[in-house]
Amino acid sequence: MGTVLTNPFELNFGGLAARNAENIKEAETTSGLLSSETRTTSCNSLYPNTQVEIYEQTRVHPNPYNNSNLTVTCEGYSYPDNPGSGARNCGTRYEVMGLNGNVKGTGNPLNIPTSDFQGDIFTQGFKQYYSSLVDARMVRDAEVAHWNVFRSESGCKDSNALNYSPGASTGNCPCESAEPVWIQGQNQTNNPQLQSVAERPGDCSCLMPPTNLDGQGYLVEEWEYVGTPWNPPEYQPNPPYSRLIDQWKWKRNDSKSVLPQSGEDDILYAIAKPGWKATGLNPPQEFIVKKTLSPQSWDKYRLTTATGFVKIGCLDNTAMNYDSEATIDSQDCKYCTDSDENATIFNQDTQKCECLAGYSLQSGVFSTKCKKGVAKSGSNNGNNSKDKKEEEGMSIGTLMAGIAGITVLGLTVLGLSGGKSNE
């Protein structure tokens, strides 16, 4: 019996297949940066100008024609299949690289729903890959938007200003890269929402508190979340307040305001010093404060100032509390006749009450009132000179009558004495 030899062609084919498989294993994957797909975070982001990139990774199939003599197919996992039958785990996938390396679109912190993806998602350990370039772009943009939220907006860095923002940037970023917007019907967790605006230089000047107030003040209000209104007129009327669950309102901020009469509900009185009232109010000036780099640390305020102030007081110059500087009647004039029925008007020159005819102002231990009689030295009785002369005339006549009576009485006594002697 002869020795059966293996077909040389078969031996060569098997060895070639094995060598091809090994060669493919060594150079099966190619990776390259898609430079045109790179995006960067904002210049005022917590991590400014950070690049978020997309890499294209391709694994060449070692058996594109499904040759049965090749037992080695694609090495590794997490690749889409090339055309052909069987699970060969080969093809092209995309990887998004961000601040912390590989970006997981469906994982924390992006948490993109899987229903938003058009292609397949491959998870390999702590990494995630995508079969669709469209999906990779979506993950890339979400990564950029995430880090752009944590940013410092250009603003006032003066701690003395009303719009002082500890989270404001000091660099050369535009002042207005985004604007916070508060929406009625959204709770405080979802407000404010950033509204993108054109990247352009803006006015970053500080809003300083009003000065030279001379005792007057101003009002600062804060835009605050109040929740569901329970007052029927606010809750049940026509839109936008019908079915409004989450409501925002302006509320006084005492720490930022100057309110000489803080207990007054009326702004015209609250911002004025006692005895004064604002003549009108200027349109409120809104301003934004960024406390920290946190996304929800935006606060909105508004400043209200007065167009002018006027003094309130008694406008009747015959009253005891007449105010010559007042321009608005206080309706609380006090008169001399309120406590003294014999008095008349209040003399603004002497600062004393005047009395009716025949009465004079006499000071007692506890009060000063108009009484009949001669006024004490230095007192103002308000009587005329004719009354004084009449009183003096009456006193001299009475004296002369007394002297005449005494004389007659003396003569009578003498006469009686002489008569007795003659007898």
pLDDT of residue 48: 86
Instruction: Say if residues 135 and 37 touch (Cβ distance below 8 Å).
Output: no
Q: Which residues of the chain have pLDDT under 50?
A: 1-19, 21-27, 75-77, 82-88, 200-202, 375-401, 407-423
Q: What pTM value is reported for the model? A: 0.55
Contact in structure between 42 and 92 (CB atoms under 8 Å)? no
d(CA 289, CA 332): 45
Q: How many CB atoms lie within 10 A of CB 363?
A: 12
Contact 192, 250 (CB under 8 A): no
Q: If DSSP codes are grouped into helix, strand and coil, which group holds residue 180?
A: strand
| pLDDT score at 419 | 43
Cβ atoms of residues 163 and 206 within 8 Å: yes
- β-pairing verdict for 219-227 and 285-290: unpaired
Are 380 and 371 spatial neighbours (Cβ–Cβ below 8 Å)?
no
Report yes or no: 305 and 293 within 8 Å, Cβ to Cβ.
no
Q: Using an 8 Å Cβ cutoff, are 80 and 93 in contact?
A: yes
Which residues neighbour 315 within 8 Å (Cβ) at sequence distance 6 or greater? 322, 323, 326, 329, 333
Decide: 163 and 203 in contact? Cβ < 8 Å: no
Alpha-carbon dihedral of residues 383, 389, 391, 395, nearest 10 degrees?
A: 160
Greatest pairwise CA separation for the chain in angstroms? 225
What single-letter amino acid sits at 249? K
